[in-house]
């Protein structure tokens, strides 16, 4: 059986998994990217929106790149919403299509046997019985 939308489903599943890992490792545990890049330490989560705003020379909050992990902020709620949405898309896209079977062609001998045994009835023209 083939899938409904395999490419879209795989991409959506990849996005959903990455969002789940982002929430788990960054938002809840504070393991990645804290301590590996930037000035954050273990147990702190990185706020990507502040970094993007600074990179685009938009107003941003000083010292707002890092905060304590474990508490949900708008970033984690947005990631959870994106994760759930892409997971639903992945489930729909990777679902198997129903197989459509056409009518099977029976041999003349098997049709004759069914007619003689009474499994198939022949009605009169016009629907009168």
Question: What span, in angstroms and rounded, lies between the C-alpha atoms of 35 and 24?
Answer: 16
Q: Regarding beta strands 66-68 and 44-46, do their DSSP bridges make them parallel or antiparallel, or are they unpaired?
A: antiparallel
Asked if the model's pLDDT at residue 128 lies above 60, the reply is: no
* pLDDT computed for residue 125 by the predictor: 65
Assigned token pair, 10:
């795989």
Q: Where are the domains of the chain?
A: 6-97
Q: pLDDT of 35-90, one tens digit each?
A: 677 677 788 888 888 888 888 999 988 878 888 888 898 999 999 999 999 999 99
Asked if the model's pLDDT at residue 100 lies above 60, the reply is: yes
Q: Which residue has the tokens 């788990």?
A: 24
Which residues face 68 on adjacent strands? 44
Question: What span, in angstroms and rounded, lies between the C-alpha atoms of 111 and 107?
Answer: 6
Assigned token pair, 125:
């023209």
* pLDDT computed for residue 82 by the predictor: 97
* pLDDT computed for residue 46 by the predictor: 87
Where does the pLDDT of residue 32 fall: very low under 50, low under 70, confident under 90, or very high at 90 and above?
Answer: confident
The DSSP output letter for 106 is P
Mean pLDDT in the chain?
A: 85
* Exposure b/e, 75-111, CB count within 10 A at least 16 = b: bbeebbebbeebbebbeebbeeeeeeeeeeeeeeeee
Backbone angles phi, psi at 3, to 5 degrees: -90, 160
């Amino acid at each position: 059986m083939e899938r409904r939308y395999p490419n879209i489903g795989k991409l959506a599943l990849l996005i959903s998994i990455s969002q789940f890992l982002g929430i788990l490792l960054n938002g809840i545990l504070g393991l990645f990217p804290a301590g590996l890049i930037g000035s954050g330490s273990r147990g702190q989560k990185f706020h990507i929106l502040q970094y993007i705003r600074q990179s685009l020379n938009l107003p941003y909050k000083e010292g707002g790149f890092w905060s304590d992990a474990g508490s949900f902020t708008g970033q984690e709620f947005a990631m959870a919403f994106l994760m759930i949405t892409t997971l639903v898309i992945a489930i729909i896209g990777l679902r198997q299509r129903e197989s459509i079977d056409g009518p099977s062609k029976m041999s003349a001998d098997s049709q004759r046997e069914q007619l003689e045994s009474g499994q198939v009835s022949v009605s009169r023209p016009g629907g009168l019985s």
